[in-house]
Amino acid sequence: MVGQDVVRDVVRESARAGRLVLWEESPRDGAQAKTLMSADFRVRLAREQGRMFGADGPRHVVFAAGFPAVCGEEFEAVRRVAVEAEGAVSVAAVCRGRSADVRQAVAAVRGTAHARVMVVVPASEAMAATMTHSSAREALEAAVALVKEARDLAAEVAVDLCFADASRADHALMAAGAGALTDAGAAAIVLADTVGRQLPFEAAEMFGRVAAGAGPEVVLASHLHNDLGLGLANTLEALRAGVRVVSASWLGLAERSGMVATEQVLFLLAHDPARAARLLGTDEGLWWTAPDLTALPHLAGLVAAETGVPIGVTTPVVGTGVGTISTGTPFVHPQLFQPFDPQALLGIAPTVVLTQLASARVVTAVAARLGHALDPSRTAAALAWAKARAYRTGRAVVDDAAFAAYLDGLGAAAGAAG
């Protein structure tokens, strides 16, 4: 654990050096998706997510461990992550813009390496009227005192501010607020599209204008929800505007329709570095240590098992359909029907799946995997059986056990006839 002296803010350093920092929200904002991660699981996820970046985990991952003000159990869960995942990631406690909540959040993480708190304050007039019964300007001005209070409590704890409802807020007001808060000691300013309303050009405009008005010392971060299905597109616009701290959540778990998915943004930015550089308009590398992408399917699976949120066949990057082949032409030329090599990049081996769309090649390949060599007549019979079964049961995929039983019977019948 660290002492009470001011220490390096590796997250701010990384962002200012042009490196990507992922702000992981699945334990915290993910709870608003009606999920709950145990303290044990949060510790495990933080450690394994940090391990994706080797020794540079704290420089590439801020792990929003939870919201200590929820209850005593939540406070203890956040504290356990801060202590037990120390050194693997930068651990953050999230709180409202109230003095008591800030003190509680600081207490949850203080004394540990790379500790942070994120204070949520309203940025729009409507949100300020609801959250603080004040104007947006007054709310942002009051936040300066909260930053100073947190820094006085524990100088080693970095303090970040989240501007709630930034997508409906005045850009000039946010820029001025971001500058004043940074001068007071804030580390990063998170602009949140709290209700997921932005279109990509609006996200680009917001981040560009706030960055230009706030000045070079301000480190901006994104927190963009997915209510219109544009969380990832808007995050890319933030990155193109120079933002290097981006919020995401495993499987997109977050309030309502969620937010940009961790596995998607990491894969998109790491699997093809040259393409990512062209996307962002920079030749600077995004990583101190590039993430181990083969960990993505494993960690997504762990999150799905813990939260009960299933991974679907069409889930990008980690879905059950990735690497599968079920029709003839993709079987012959699989590289033409996928944007990347799942086995080389993710460790997902190709799998031939038997469905009502199967060709003779698909049937013989699945049969071979199950230990059966089919001649042309039995291939034709098996193909007809598989299609009939799919339509009879109303389920596209014919599972291996049922097909193996059919093939055993087919083989026995052929043997008896011989």
> pTM here?
0.92
Domains of the chain: 10-307 (3.20.20.70), 321-418 (no CATH)
Strand partners, 92: 64, 116
Alpha-carbon radius of gyration of the chain: 25
Q: Which two tokens stand for residue 194?
A: 């709290």
Per-residue pLDDT of the chain (418 residues; tens, 9 = 90+): 443 344 689 999 999 999 999 999 999 999 999 999 999 999 999 999 999 999 999 999 999 999 999 999 999 999 999 999 999 999 999 999 999 999 999 999 999 999 999 999 999 999 999 999 999 999 999 999 999 999 999 999 999 999 999 999 999 999 999 999 999 999 999 999 999 999 999 999 999 999 999 999 999 999 999 999 999 999 999 999 999 999 999 999 999 999 999 999 999 999 999 999 999 988 889 999 999 999 999 999 999 999 999 999 999 999 999 988 888 777 778 787 888 989 999 999 889 999 999 999 999 999 999 999 999 999 999 999 999 999 999 999 999 999 999 998 876 555 454 4
For residue 47, give the nearest of 4, 91, 5 by alpha carbon. Answer: 91
Q: Specify whether the CB–CB gap between 82 and 113 falls below 8 A.
A: no
Q: Phi and psi dihedrals of 326, rounded to 5?
A: -135, -5
Q: According to the model, what pLDDT value does residue 298 have?
A: 97
Q: Which two tokens stand for residue 160?
A: 């970040």
Mode of pairing for the β-strands spanning 189-193 and 351-352: unpaired
Q: According to the model, what pLDDT value does residue 413 have?
A: 58
Which regions of 205-358 does DSSP assign to beta strands (E)? 220-224, 245-248, 324-325, 351-352
